[in-house]
């Protein structure tokens, strides 16, 4: 089967030749593997490891000028296109420290930021995407339109704490923010379709949960977020495709609402946050596919016996009736050896094989 045939079958809850294979990587392990010659320099890990899914995206930021503010031996401080002031290490992996944000009031939003969210052709590299999609089509990859959903894009503009406060203080502003982001994404998607670019699904990225569950109440999700998630999931439905939803943290209690919004596949099911593929598949496997739940801490520890147990038990359960794609439970972390990782992929393909369907 080709990657597209495989992922399509699995997302339709049918068995394939084997489970899907996908992953994401922190930059450190890739740099290490390339430095030591384990994989070619500047190689794309999705190509090199023959991963099934590809992503195309667009710029949904306020398109503020990127600027370096401070550069030291250890770290750099820079302002990104969302206007977010970040401090990040130069030589080691970490999530950045968020120092400041572009829009800290309703007045700033209406006075300046919202205007910056207008459509511009430069938000979408149509020619570049057409070229990439053409190549991936020849390999018959499963190609997704990959964008931040409204909560994730929203905090990058106004800051995570203010966004959460605004959910209670000023829901009207939040609706305007989310409407603006959603309309922009819809415009980008339509532009790609209008350009004759064929896509298979949508991949939404948004961490609405932490290890304690969803940041906000189910009622707030339904009132403030779900209308926009429904529209974004609706994009995939328009092309007969599926929506993958990336959400870190413990999404267990909010899964029914994600299904109601139209999410078809949940990723990455963080083990350390308490996500459990056994429970999720038992409770929601009829409606939802899953991607992930392979504990990245085992990768980091290069614990091959632990990984074999993890992969065997989880894959043999999760692959039943389709609906499962291998993925680490977030990203392949620093410290993971190349040998460990290639063995993991080999085990995933072996334990993920369906015996009655030939490759």
Partner 1 sequence: MSLEDLSQAIIVGNRQKAIDLTEKALADGTPPPEVIYRGLVPGMDVVGEKFRNNEYYIPNVLVSARAMSASMELLKPLLVSSGMKYVGKAVIGTVEGDLHDIGKNLVRMMLQGGGFDVLDLGVDVSPDKFVQSVKEFKPELIAMSALLTTTMPGMKKVIEKLNDEGIRGTVKVMIGGAPITQRFADQIGADAFASDASSAVLRAKELLGVSS
The answer to whether 335 contacts partner 1 (rule: CB under 8 A) is yes
Which span sits near partner 1 by CB under 8 A: 44-52, 55-63, 134-142, 329-337?
329-337
Largest CA distance in the chain: 61
Site track 284-303 with partner 1 (rule: CB under 8 A), x = hit: ------------xx--x---
Q: How far is the CB of 332 from partner 1 (least distance, A)?
A: 12
Site for partner 1 in 51-90 (CB under 8 A): 87-89
Nearest to 289 by CA among 13, 8, 6, 14: 13
Q: How far is the CB of 254 from partner 1 (least distance, A)?
A: 11
Query: Over the range 228-239, which residues count as b (16 or more CB within 10 Å of their CB) and which as e?
Result: bbebbbebbeee
For residue 160, give both structure tokens. 């995570």
Comparing CB distances to partner 1, the nearer of 297 and 343 is 297
Which span sits near partner 1 by CB under 8 A: 195-203, 207-215, 275-283, 350-358?
207-215
Exactly one of 168, 190, 278, 313 binds partner 1 (CB under 8 A); which one?
168
Site track 298-327 with partner 1 (rule: CB under 8 A), x = hit: --x---------------------------
Query: What is the bridge-based pairing of β-strands 85-89 and 213-214?
Result: unpaired
The answer to whether 27 contacts partner 1 (rule: CB under 8 A) is no
Place of tokens 């999705």: 46
DSSP string, 179-247: HHHHHHHHHHHHHHHHTT----EEEEE---EETTEESS-HHHIIIIIHHHHHHHHHHHHHTT-EEEEE-
The answer to whether 160 contacts partner 1 (rule: CB under 8 A) is yes
Exactly one of 2, 105, 217, 350 binds partner 1 (CB under 8 A); which one?
217
Query: Over the range 142-156, which residues count as b (16 or more CB within 10 Å of their CB) and which as e?
Result: bbbbbbbbbbbbbbb
**79 pairs with which residues across the strands?**
67, 85
Phi/psi of residue 99, nearest 5 degrees: -95, -30
The answer to whether 135 contacts partner 1 (rule: CB under 8 A) is no
The answer to whether 214 contacts partner 1 (rule: CB under 8 A) is yes
> How many whole angstroms separate alpha carbon 219 and alpha carbon 237?
25
Phi/psi of residue 128, nearest 5 degrees: -65, -40
> How many whole angstroms separate alpha carbon 77 and alpha carbon 71?
6
Which span sits near partner 1 by CB under 8 A: 280-288, 311-319, 330-338, 343-351?
330-338
Exactly one of 161, 172, 198, 359 binds partner 1 (CB under 8 A); which one?
161
The answer to whether 97 contacts partner 1 (rule: CB under 8 A) is yes
Query: Over the range 64-94, which residues count as b (16 or more CB within 10 Å of their CB) and which as e?
Result: beeeeeeeeeebbbbbbbbbbbbbeeeeeee
Site for partner 1 in 218-247 (CB under 8 A): 220
For residue 106, give both structure tokens. 């309703």
The answer to whether 268 contacts partner 1 (rule: CB under 8 A) is no
Q: How far is the CB of 302 from partner 1 (least distance, A)?
A: 13
Comparing CB distances to partner 1, the nearer of 48 and 89 is 89
Count residues binding partner 1 (CB under 8 A).
33
The answer to whether 94 contacts partner 1 (rule: CB under 8 A) is yes
Which residues of this chain interact with partner 1, rule CB under 8 A?
Answer: 87-89, 92-97, 160-161, 164-165, 167-169, 210-217, 220, 272-273, 296-297, 300, 333-335
């Amino acid at each position: 089967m080709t990657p597209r045939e495989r992922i399509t079958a699995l997302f339709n809850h049918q068995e394939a030749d084997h489970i899907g294979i996908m992953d994401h990587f922190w930059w450190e392990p890739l740099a290490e593997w390339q430095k030591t010659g384990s994989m070619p320099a500047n190689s794309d890990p999705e190509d090199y490891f023959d991963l099934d899914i590809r992503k195309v995206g667009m710029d949904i930021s306020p398109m503020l000028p990127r600027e370096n503010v401070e550069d030291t031996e250890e770290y750099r401080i820079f302002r990104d296109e969302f206007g977010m002031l970040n401090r990040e290490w130069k030589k080691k992996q970490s999530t950045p420290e968020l120092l400041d944000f572009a829009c800290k009031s309703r007045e700033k939003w209406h006075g300046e930021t919202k205007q910056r969210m207008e459509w511009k052709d430069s938000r979408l590299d149509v020619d570049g995407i057409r070229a990439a999609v053409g190549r991936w089509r020849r390999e018959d990859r499963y190609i997704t339109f990959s964008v931040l959903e409204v909560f994730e894009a929203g905090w990058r503009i106004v800051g995570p704490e203010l966004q959460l406060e605004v959910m209670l203080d000023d829901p009207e502003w939040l609706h305007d923010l989310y409407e603006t982001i959603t309309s922009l994404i819809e415009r980008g998607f339509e532009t790609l379709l209008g350009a004759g670019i064929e896509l298979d699904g949508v991949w939404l990225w948004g961490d609405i949960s932490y290890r304690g569950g969803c940041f906000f109440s189910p009622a707030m999700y339904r009132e403030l977020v779900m209308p926009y998630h429904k529209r974004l999931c609706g994009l995939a439905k328009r092309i007969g495709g599926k929506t993958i939803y990336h959400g870190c943290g413990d999404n267990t209690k909010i899964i029914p609402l994600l299904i109601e919004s139209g999410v078809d596949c949940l990723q990455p099911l963080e083990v350390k946050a308490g996500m459990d593929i056994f429970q999720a598949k038992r409770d929601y496997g009829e409606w939802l596919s899953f991607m992930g739940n392979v504990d990245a801490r085992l990768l980091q520890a290069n614990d091959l016996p632990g990984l074999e147990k993890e992969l065997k038990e989880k894959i043999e359960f999760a692959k039943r009736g389709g609906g499962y794609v291998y993925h680490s439970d977030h990203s392949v972390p620093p410290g993971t050896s190349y040998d460990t990782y290639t063995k993991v992929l080999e085990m995933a393909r072996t334990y993920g094989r369906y015996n009655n369907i030939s490759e």
